[in-house]
Amino acid sequence: MPQLDLDRGGLDAVPPEALADPGLHRLSLYANEISELPDRVWDLVELRVLNVADNRLTSLSPRIGELRHLHTLDLGHNAFRALPDELGELPELTEYLYLSDNELTVFPESLCRLGKLKYLGCTDNRIDVLPPAIAGLRSLRELRLYHNGLRALPEEIGSLPALRELHLRGNRITRLPSAVGSLRELRQLDLRDNGLVELPSALLELSKLDKLDLRWNKDLRLPPWLPDLEARGCYVLL
């Protein structure tokens, strides 16, 4: 697979000659000082993997939508405040989308069109609301949203039939919707350091749940059915 790794090169710009091969399948520019991606990146239409994490990027060209073969995209540890709608038009973005440690205040609703995506990381941003359209992420297996400003989850969170891990540590959630009981593939639910006051009995419906982390929710009233969950083999941390 033709690939180019320029990780940790101290680059503040991408050398034009580095992008001369139109057949590149993998391009990694991880941990440089790049503040803008050149247009020639979007001419690499055979790319499968693009890693531009840990740079100084603040915006992403709408031409990202031209990378129709991309299955893995890492935009983490930059300074993005918004993302183009074209990001939701990548039909093969199936494996991994990492947006953590940016400056997003709104969950990009265009992402909800990525119906084949398996992993989405949006941790360490300032997102305070999830849109109902999140139900479109029907192939998602792992969703990481810890360290944001979420106060609630939409009922549509229960419309993610493949979800196995849901990480919500460090938000401001006080209650969970009963729809979480529809997440029948869920194995791990991390609710540490929120403002939980109660838990829905619908959690008892999660037959595959093997880890429930409830630490650092000082006002949480423990339900009488919690021992039943533990007796079934779920490891509960309090």
pLDDT at 1: 76
Q: Is residue 224 part of a domain?
A: no
Q: Is residue 34 part of a domain?
A: yes
Q: Is residue 119 part of a domain?
A: yes
Q: What is the pLDDT of residues 208-228, one digit of tens each?
A: 999 999 999 999 999 999 999
Q: What is the pLDDT of residues 38-54, one digit of tens each?
A: 999 999 999 999 999 99
Confidence of residue 93 (pLDDT cuts 50, 70, 90): very high
Q: Is residue 108 part of a domain?
A: yes
What mean pLDDT comes out for the span 165-192?
A: 98
Q: Is residue 203 part of a domain?
A: no
pLDDT at 121: 98
Could you give the CA distance from residue 206 to residue 165 in angstroms, rounded to a whole number? 12
Is the pTM higher than 0.85?
A: yes
Nearest CA to 175 out of 150, 211, 156 is that of 150
Q: Residue 138: give its domain's CATH number.
A: 3.80.10.10
Helical ranges in the chain per DSSP H: 226-231
Could you give the CA distance from residue 164 to residue 170 in angstroms, rounded to a whole number? 19
What mean pLDDT comes out for the span 163-186?
A: 98
Q: Is residue 215 part of a domain?
A: no
| Domain span including residue 76 | 3-189
For the chain, how many structural domains are there in total? 1
Q: Is residue 233 part of a domain?
A: no
Q: Is residue 149 part of a domain?
A: yes
